[in-house]
A and B are shown apart, each in its own frame.
Chain A
Amino acid sequence: MQLAMTRAAAGLQRYNQLFLLIVVVAVATVISRGVFLRPSNLVLVIASASAAGLVSFGQALVVVGGGFDLSVGSLVAMSISAIVFFRTDLGMVGGTIAAVMTAVLAGLVSGLLVSRTKIPPFIVTLGMLSVADSMSWILAAGQPITVSEYNDAIAPLFAFLPLGQNAFPILVLVAGFIGTSLLLHRSKWGRYIYAIGSNEAAARIAGVPVMKTKLLSYGLSAFLCAMAAIIYLYQNLSATPGEGADYLLLSFAATILGGVHMYGGSGSIPGVLVGVLCLASITSALTIAGVAPSIYQGVLGVIVLAVVLFQSRLRLRR
């Protein structure tokens, strides 16, 4: 009996994420009375997961490497404002490139501080959160932001696809997924990230370039935040400064639900993708069921805590 229980637990552990997605989809279908499973809604759910997904992939790279990136939400907000700021002088294309570079620079600063000093990652990125949030107000001069150019220019390019408006966000999400998966699971840099996350001191002795790897993961996380900012503007056309801060919570929830261990060294990008889709499904189902938005985050919080508790129980039992 004991053995059977242990086996069941181990099985659950292995297919944890898939099991979770099935449960979430089933529950979402039931509380939305079937509306959730309509193809048009599923496309919407995936498209709405795009920006959050990109941010979460970046967060996962950092967390697997034993760090934290609390600045992701504010980096999205800063990138949104930076696009508007640079647009006036450099035009749309140049402005976008400059904004992406600004975000990457911020990520590299975080990576540098994390790898060269003894300041814990959560303090470094908490400081960056504050700086980036301020920058989002300064760059936008405190004014509301409107950017319709992305939608105007990009949407027609994919008009031939049946997905319509949602084609671009879904394609970018897929590209981000493939890119980060290849990096983490098929390249030497991925091995380095796992090695540092499991045991940094050992990795350093074994000759892993710790500083370069951390610069890469924090820089890439910031880059993905800038991509998320573009998707955000493509989908919403407008924003207020500081908007996007919610992506911090979403990215944490997605990495946790995706089975990434918060102390680093384990987890996978496919798992995180499942986590992102779960979150988007839950939000969609809650909206269809008419739950007030002010309660969403409470529901998400309960779900995340329950899942983390469940995962830590399983880990203890092994």
Chain B
Amino acid sequence: MDRVKSLLKELDVVVILGALLLVAAIFRASTFYNLDNLFAILELSAVLGIATLGEALVLIVRGVDISVGAMMGLAGTLSAFLLPDYGMAAAVLLPLLACGLLGLANGLLIEKGRIPPIVATIGMMWVVGGLAGSISSGRLIPIQEQAFQNIALGSIFEVVPLFFVGLLVIGVVALFVRSNFSIGRYVYAVGGDEGAAYYSAIPVSRIRIAVYGVAGILYGIAGLLMASYVRSGMPAVGKGYEFKAITAAVLGGIALTGGRGNLLKAILGAVILIVLYGVVTAFAVSPYIQGIIQGCILVGAVYYATRHD
């Protein structure tokens, strides 16, 4: 019995949940296990995974970021707006620059302005939403450029979407930085024990600000991928992604109290969340029920993580 228990603990709930879902989907094999559906699941996993990585970093430095969805919307809208006249390079780099700067602004408001993270990023969410709304004048901007559409259509051996390759690359870079550079340890130290980090001459403020900036860029990348996926730029495309990203990160074991959590598992949390949506859809239950499941998972996962605190 004990051996079973320890095995379960090692495997962790999140992996078990994922396995259960994949088994359950066998009952709807024709709708779930077909190439188109799996391809879409991998693509959406990549979008959410990249956004979740940003949110996870912010949670690790004991912050929280509600501006995820708005930033994604801005990146996509700005990109669609720039594409016809300024070409691919500008349409990719400028939105990422904008999101990075807005992320830094988040960090500055929180660190230098001493505003609680939740308030600062909600305010930023409106500002960013307003920016995207004024670029698009409240409408949807279609994307006609083939090269941009191809990002979503592209794959390796027609099996693994380019999106997912992108997620893997970003994940590997994040893990490499985490374990080979001092900044990786600093990030965890800042969230783990701010006072101790401060007295160890770690530039706490600057690291936190930088993390919000990096997170902004990651939301921007997720937004660009989403724009390529839906072939248009619209400010509301990322609506609810702050919620999904927080849920995925928590599901992946990122502690809301900061300083703890594995980035790779956070990404896995995102993949499993998307698989869950896929399974729910495959069983053709009312699509409206998704939110109820999502809410219960978030609260349940946090309860599981905090029950012994």
Contacts and interface: CB of A to CB of B under 8 A. Distances in A.
Interface of A: 68, 113, 117-120, 122-124, 126-131, 133-135, 137-138, 142, 249, 252, 256, 262-263, 292-302, 304-305, 308-309, 312-313, 315-316
A308 B123 contact: yes
Contacts of A300: 126, 130
Interface string B266-305: 0000000000000000000010111110111011001100
Give the 10 A-B CB pairs with smallest separation, nearest first.
A298-B130, A301-B126, A134-B291, A294-B133, A130-B295, A294-B138, A301-B127, A127-B295, A137-B288, A127-B299
A134 B246 CA distance: 18
A256 B118 CA distance: 12
Contact of A292 (B129, B137, B299): B137
A126 B306 contact: no
Contacts of B302: 119-120, 123
A24 B42 CA distance: 49
30 contacts: A68-B118, A113-B299, A117-B306, A118-B307, A123-B246, A126-B298, A127-B295, A130-B292, A130-B298, A131-B291, A134-B295, A138-B289, A142-B288, A263-B116, A294-B137, A295-B134, A297-B126, A297-B129, A297-B133, A298-B126, A298-B130, A301-B123, A301-B126, A301-B130, A304-B123, A308-B115, A308-B119, A309-B115, A312-B115, A316-B114
A256 B119 contact: yes
The contact size tier of chain B is 35 or more
B295 A128 contact: yes
A252 B115 contact: no
Name B's interface SS.
helix
B39 interface: no
A133 B113 CA distance: 33
B300 to A, nearest CB: 9
Interface of B: 64, 109, 113-116, 118-120, 122-131, 133-134, 136-138, 235, 243, 246, 250, 256, 286, 288-292, 294-296, 298-299, 302-303, 306-307, 309
A131 B243 contact: no
Contacts of A68: 118
A138 B116 CA distance: 35
B136 to A, nearest CB: 8
A221 to B, nearest CB: 17
A249 B126 contact: yes
B132 to A, nearest CB: 9
Nearest to B239: A245
A302 B120 CA distance: 11
B298 A123 contact: yes
B123 A262 contact: no
A74 to B, nearest CB: 9
Given A127-B296, A127-B299, A308-B115, A292 B134 contact: yes
A138 B287 CA distance: 9
A297 B125 CA distance: 9
B272 to A, nearest CB: 17
Contacts of A296: 130
Contacts of B123: 301, 304-305, 308
Contacts of B235: 294
B303 A126 contact: no
Nearest to A248: B122
Contacts of B115: 305, 308-309, 312
Nearest to A124: B299
A63 B298 CA distance: 22
A301 B243 contact: no
A249 B294 CA distance: 21
